Amino acid sequence: MAKRDGVMRRFRRWLAGPPAALPSARPDVDYEPADEGEPLVVAARGDVFDLQLIPHFRWSSGQMSYEALVRRSSHYTDSARSKLIHRIWAVAREFRPAETTEAERRINEEISKGWCYDDDEGTIRCTPSVRVVPDPRMRELLLPFERGVLRARKVEALAEEWLQVFCRLEQLDRLGRVERQFLLPFAASLTDPEFAAVLHALADVRRARTTELAGVLQQAGRSHESVGLFEFASAYDKAYQAFCRQMGLDPFAWAQSPFGGAERPGPERSGAERSGVGPGEGAI
């Protein structure tokens, strides 16, 4: 049987009144203002260019209302920007001006815990984060390079498409080195005027210099033939013909040999036959 309370115990409880309710905890409130103000500028690695940081602050507190939090966070904004620079100054100097992605990740790791401000109205927490953008001077410096890269990729892809068109229309088995050297200036003319002009100039220079080398081979063959070294002369003659065909110096090479295929065999003549000397005769 449960023990009944005595009269005096009930009387004391009546005098004390009902037990006081425990104070309920105030829920946390958050406030994230829009990003305002000038970007924070810190030196990048090398001290030539900077990294520009766009800060974002998240304010929270469990000891005041939302209106009070908005008012108090506005009071501490300048202090938070200054504290943020001191926290990340050394970290930012580890990265090159173009390494904005890596710098942003490392800086946000460094400041992820944030910090607190205490005053008579209570404690508020500031949790910052940043977006890192490159120095405008670096952007101006890299812009021509990036444009050139995009243009080069576009020209390369379009020229390759035209080469494949030629290959299909000419019914070639493949596009080898020789075929590409011959067709590329024409494909470039359909791709980009400046690129085409450069390729035509390159073809002229290549033709001029290879013509000089072909002349050396031809003269060497004649010199050996004139002294009766017909085997050497024949070897130089073959080398000369193959070289002219490969470098596009022989305008009839394309008719004599199909694109992408093997050279059509033809009758070979010795140096003696070309010079009109019979097999049993010798040079004087």
- DSSP secondary structure of 148-206: HHHHHHHHHHHHHHHHHHHHHHTT-S---HHHHHHHHHHHHHTT-HHHHHHHHHHHHHH
Last residue of a domain, one of 139, 166, 189: 139
Residue 121 lies in a domain: yes
Q: DSSP of 209-222, one letter per residue?
A: HHHHHHHHHHHHHH
Q: At what angle do helices 66-92 and 100-110 cross, to 10 degrees?
A: 120
In this prediction, residue 283 carries a pLDDT of 35
Q: Which residues contact 200 (CB under 8 A, 6 or more apart)?
A: 185, 188
Closest CA to 130 of 162, 94, 197, 84: 84
Backbone angles phi, psi at 57, to 5 degrees: -115, 135
pLDDT given for residue 163 in this prediction: 93
pLDDT means per 10 residues, the chain with 284 residues, are: 59 62 64 86 91 94 90 91 93 92 95 91 92 91 91 94 92 85 89 90 78 64 57 63 59 45 42 40 34
pLDDT value for 63 = 87
Q: Tell me if 188 sits within 8 A of 201, measured CB to CB.
A: no
Domain count, the chain: 2
Q: What is the dihedral of CA 107, 111, 112, 115, to 10 degrees?
A: -170
What CATH number corresponds to the domain at position 61? 3.30.479
- What confidence score (pLDDT) does residue 208 get? 74
Q: Is residue 178 in some structural domain?
A: yes
Which contacts qualify for 103-112: CB closer than 8 Å, 24 or more apart?
A: 103/44, 103/51, 103/132, 104/130, 104/131, 104/132, 107/53, 107/132, 111/84, 111/87
Q: Are residues 115 and 163 in the same domain?
A: no
Closest CA to 73 of 41, 39, 114, 30: 30
Which pLDDT belongs to residue 6? 66
Query: CA 105 → CA 7, 44, 90, 99, 129, distances in Å?
Result: 71, 15, 15, 10, 10
Residue 154 half-sphere exposure toward CB, CA atoms < 13 A = 10
pLDDT of res. 246: 59
Do 46 and 134 have their domain in common? yes
Answer whether residue 17 is part of any domain: no
Residues 124 and 195 both lie in one domain: no
Q: Which pLDDT belongs to residue 241?
A: 64
Quote the domain boundaries for residue 219. 154-250
The model's pTM: 0.55
pLDDT at 115: 93
For residues 240 and 259, what is the distance between their CA atoms, to the nearest angstrom?
Answer: 20
Q: Is residue 262 part of a domain?
A: no
Provide the CB-side half-sphere exposure for 14 (13 A, CA).
7
Rounded to an integer, what distance in angstroms lies between the CA atom of residue 74 and that of residue 166?
Answer: 68
> 184 and 224, same structural domain?
yes
Token pair 């080469």 is found at 163
Whether residue 190 lies inside any domain: the answer is yes
User: Number of helices (H) and strands (E), helices first, in the chain?
Assistant: 9, 5
